[in-house]
Amino acid sequence: MEDKRIRNLNSFFRHIFGRKVKKVCLWGGFTCPNRDGTFSSRGCTFCNPLSSRPKTYEEGKSIVQQMENGCRYISRRYNVNSFLPYFQDYTTTYGDPNELDSLCTEALSYPGTVGLSLCTRPDCLEESMLDYLEKLSGETFLWVEIGVQTSDDRILKDMNRRHTSLDTMNAFKALHARRIFSAAHMIIGYPGSSVETVLADAEFVRKTGTNGVKLQNLHVVKNTVIANRFAAGEFELMTMEDYADMVILFLEHTEPRVVILRLTGEAPEELTVAPEWSLHKMIVLNRIHGEMQRRDTWQGKALGFNRSSLNSPPDNIRDI
């Protein structure tokens, strides 16, 4: 259902493509410099790569076979026949652009595909990769999603991200200089963060000039450093109500032109340690939307934007 208090992904897709489009998550078999020993072999404290494995994934399936499975599932569930393949495992732009091209070409060959989305780290955009992404972006709708997580370098260090907020800013500059559509993934509720962190992160994201934002709560998944710290009682997680408040605060400080790709995150139930409420996505979304309605607030309100700004056309993908 359309939500006029934020610029959501469904309304954005309808503007751009004139119809309903759904993302299809794929497993490209990528790796990550924060796991292969290049930056670190420990990974980020919150990361269990298996938690981003698509629900429909089956070992050994090609990209086209994954598209078949994913599109069949999504078509039945949402009654759509247009798809945006999304490579979200590990760091998709780390490595050889030719290898990435093979995977992208295979995904794009599937009927009903309208473009492509890639997820990556801010510090894995070499010139040759940017050249490739620019070319791809000229041929199809391309959305590059950057794992920002936070603008706070102290928290980035604690996360073992092995990049800084300056790296992040430079990544967005490089993408936008080549007119590549971008999005920022943010985590709300990491230990050591506060209301001030949320406000600083929202301001930082505005400065990046990104076209989209994906928000998620810190969810503790099995086999991670953060799971060990949680078990040791080193920190407490936010309640759902507190998370909704933080999300609303972030949205109020986000320009209406920015597409909100997601308001909450979820990991597979069998991998989730906590919080339990993160498994109930609809309840979390209802809380956020209900509170926005009750407070009569909207995306960009704290920046002085009228609610009607959300009805203006989204960023032109060829004019960023």
Residues that bind ligand SF4 (CB under 6 A): 32, 34-35, 43-44, 47, 49, 90-91, 121, 147
Least separation in angstroms between CB 119 and ligand SF4:
8
State the minimum distance, in angstroms, from the CB of residue 98 to ligand SF4: 21
Tell me which amino acid residue 153 is: D
CB closer to ligand SF4 out of 49 and 112: 49
Structural contact between residues 133 and 180, judged by C-beta atoms closer than 8 angstroms: yes
Q: Where are the beta strands (DSSP E) in 16-72?
A: 22-26
Q: Smallest gap, in angstroms, from Cβ of residue 175 to ligand SF4? A: 17
What region does 189 belong to: left with phi over 0, alpha with psi -120 to 50, or beta? left
Q: Which SS3 state, helix, strand or coil, does residue 117 take?
A: strand
Of residues 16 and 103, the one with the C-beta less far from ligand SF4: 103
Nearer to ligand SF4, 133 or 292 (CB): 133
> From the CB of residue 276, how many other CB atoms can be counted at a distance below 10 Å?
11
CB of 107 to ligand SF4, least distance (A): 19
Task: Compare residues 112 and 191 and give the one whose CB is closer to ligand SF4.
Answer: 191
Cβ 217 to ligand SF4, closest distance in Å? 15
Q: Which is nearer to ligand SF4, 66 or 91 (CB)?
A: 91
Q: Rounded to whole angstroms, how far apart are CA atoms 257 and 53? A: 30
In sequence order, the β-bridge partners of residue 143 are 117, 181
User: Judged by CB, which is closer to ligand SF4: 34, or 197?
Assistant: 34
Residues 6+ apart with CB under 8 A from 190: 46, 149, 150, 155, 158, 159, 218
Check residue 8 and report its DSSP letter.
Answer: B
User: Shortest distance, CB of residue 2 to ligand SF4, whole angstroms?
Assistant: 32
Q: Are 220 and 273 spatial neighbours (Cβ–Cβ below 8 Å)? A: yes
